[in-house]
Structure 1
Amino acid sequence: MNKRPTGKSILQNFGAFSDPAPDVGSDRPGDGSKSLAPQPLPRVGAGVIGATQRSLSELREERDRLRAMVDAGGGAELDPMLIDPSPFPDRLPDDSSADFESLKALISEEGQKVPIQVRHHPGAKGRYQVVYGHRRWRAASELGIKVKAIILDLSDSELVVAQGIENAARQDLSWIERSLFAWRMDQAGIKARDIRAALSIDDPELARLRAVTKVLPTDVIEAIGRAPKAGRPRWIALASAVDDDKSALARIRKTLSADKVLDLPSDERFKSVLAAVKKPVERTRSELELKSPKGRVVGKATFSAGDIKFSVSSGHAQAFGAFLEEELPGLMERFFAREGDV
């Protein structure tokens, strides 16, 4: 990885595209108008300022310069084939390609309004790496057109801070994507202060993000997916369950190997995985009364080791038997789906 010891801070460069200038427009689907009102500057955490040692006035001046460059048609048009993704992936695949297809159609019809940012590839002369704007880069590649880009000279630390600021402006990374992003930065030797700056978090939150990826292998997380509705508490609960029961990881992998589970949206895959690691509640009794909707006892179910018995009153026995015979195949299918043995 490129670790240039000195150079401009990334905060000199990020602002123009985290918060696009009013007359530049947007590539986002549904944004057909151009706002004429002044746009507020994005909030930048104290950790970011400390990590980059740049004053706000300097950042604003550089932001204005980059905006003017975009307004004047500055930057470059690059062949997408000369560009590689960021060495620090911060996203998992979307559950649906609809949003991307809408973006691609918009760029095809109206052109790319907001340039992406790239840096010179530290290990391949003449090539570039995306700082941010992966979806616009991919759309241009699939459309067979050049991509508008601003080319920067950035170290690895500056690159990840830039990605973090852009994502914070959009606020659309799920919690587990942030956890994976932190893990990848750790693996690349990025300093903790730069990781905190990139994600705009404090030490306790960084510790929580690290705790989950310490227990859950990356291939398992990637198989589950973004799971945007499964926030921090549920991911921590999943990691804790796996940490307490080492056999749980095998159950998770078995669950995720089932086609029916893989075809589910990521939030539903997460639910299936969480159900697979939960220990069954120990029964405190061996008999269960069977009651009608009005509360009348019509029989009982008896549970013992390796044995389950039903006894139903004579008035309902024949009909209940036929009903149970009809419903049992579906009940067994649901049971094995929950156990991950489909």
Structure 2
Amino acid sequence: MSRRVAEPATDSPPSTGSTTSPPLPGGNSPSPRRTGAARSFGAAWQAQEQARAVADAERDGSVVELDPEICDPSAIADRVPDTTDAAFDAFVEQIREEGQRSPALVRPKPGEPGRYEIAYGRRRRRAAQILGRPLRAIVRPLSDTELVIAQGSENLARADLSYIERAHFARNMVQAGVARETIAKAMGTQATHLSSLLTVADAIPAPVLATIGPAPKIGRPNWLTLADRIKTASPEQIDTAIASPDLAGKASDERFAVVLAALTVVPKPKAKPRAETLKDPKGRKYARVERSATGLRVTVEEAAEPGFGDYLAQRIPEILAAYRASKG
């Protein structure tokens, strides 16, 4: 069930921190030459536009209160769960003390009358469940593409979404059948960067990602290093790494370090050549034979049998010919 929330108009926009939703769907796709500075500017512009949209929605009474239990997360996950997420605990306390500053965006769930699907606001919904409060939300009849773009737009403006979460979100959209052009627009990124995200996401098995979590301080180079080690590791090594007792009680970034260290490739020690001493019937040593992975070495004891070394060297071609003849 839902009810409309009447709130006074305000000239000041809501907070643009982690609780601020991105703009509603719309606008042009990002330029293929978009720089990091332009992206930052775009995120700030989006936050301002979203603030205006939220203020308009609150003024015209389109913000409603919904039972969080009838609001389902989008089928395309963006967040990577983390049981040690202290930031979320702080987020819940902020809402407990100050209320939900920014509404979520939901749509009526297709095929399930009376239920809603969240475009953005999953954490707000979780907080509402924990606090036993309704979820403040804007309800819009979004298409599947508009839902994805709205969800991705929030990711663009959200500073606390880690690198692997962006990669995870991109892969989940691909697996859901979303066109890459739509994914690039939703994430505000270029096709080459999108391919990079997908490469990393595809290289990290789900159990490894679930064990590590979002790893907010770990960037692309370190994830690529882990991906390389996973490629050369056996399934048993990976299982051992993610079951390590050293993971207990550690934050996500520390868990990444533990798994990475557990998959460090230890070079195998070079096998020492096997040596055999040859003796004549009287027990005198006349040669030493050393076998290794790359060949065989014969060392003649000249003192024990003078001239035998030269005799052997001269007959090596004969010995080789006889060996080849014996093989047919």
**Aligned equivalents of 1:172, 1:29: Cα separation in 2:** 7
In structure 1, what residue type is equivalent to 2:161? L
In structure 2, what residue type is equivalent to 1:110? E
**Aligned equivalents of 2:88, 2:50: Cα separation in 1:** 31
Select which of 102, 105, 110 maps to 1:122. 110
Q: Deviations over 1:107-162 (max 9, x none)?
A: 23332221111111123111001111112111112222211110112222222221
Hey, what does 2:316 align to over in structure 1?
A: none
After superposition, residues 175-190 of structure 1 pair within 5 angstroms as 175-190=163-178
After superposition, residues 1-342 of structure 1 pair within 5 angstroms as 23-26=12-15, 45-46=30-31, 64=52, 66-94=54-82, 96-243=84-231, 245-247=232-234, 249-281=235-267
**Aligned equivalents of 1:154, 1:198: Cα separation in 2:** 14
Q: Secondary structure of 1:214's match?
A: helix
**Aligned equivalents of 1:280, 1:61: Cα separation in 2:** 53
Distance 1:190 1:108, change over 3 A: same
In structure 2, what residue type is equivalent to 1:103? F
Length, aligned pairs only: 242
In structure 2, what residue type is equivalent to 1:212? V
RMSD: 3.2
**Aligned equivalents of 2:81, 2:202: Cα separation in 1:** 22
**Aligned equivalents of 1:99, 1:160: Cα separation in 2:** 25
After TM superposition, the score normalised by the length of structure 1 is 0.62
Structure 2, unaligned stretches of length 5 or more? Answer: 1-9, 21-26, 33-47, 273-328
**Aligned equivalents of 1:272, 1:111: Cα separation in 2:** 38
Distance 1:71 1:284, change over 3 A: farther
Hey, what does 2:281 align to over in structure 1?
A: none
Alpha-carbon offset, residue 236 of structure 1: 1.2
In structure 1, what residue type is equivalent to 2:174? D
| Residue pair 2:74, 2:117 contacting (<8 A) in 1 also | yes
**Aligned equivalents of 1:44, 1:22: Cα separation in 2:** 29
In structure 1, what residue type is equivalent to 2:30? G
**Aligned equivalents of 1:209, 1:62: Cα separation in 2:** 26
**Aligned equivalents of 1:28, 1:203: Cα separation in 2:** 28
Hey, what does 1:50 align to over in structure 2?
A: none
**Aligned equivalents of 1:143, 1:184: Cα separation in 2:** 30
Runs (4+) of structure 1 exceeding 6 A deviation are 60-63, 283-286
Alpha-carbon offset, residue 91 of structure 1: 0.7
In structure 1, what residue type is equivalent to 2:129? S
Distance 1:272 1:43, change over 3 A: farther
Structure 1, unaligned stretches of length 5 or more? Answer: 1-20, 32-41, 48-59, 287-342
* Percent of aligned pairs sharing the same letter: 39
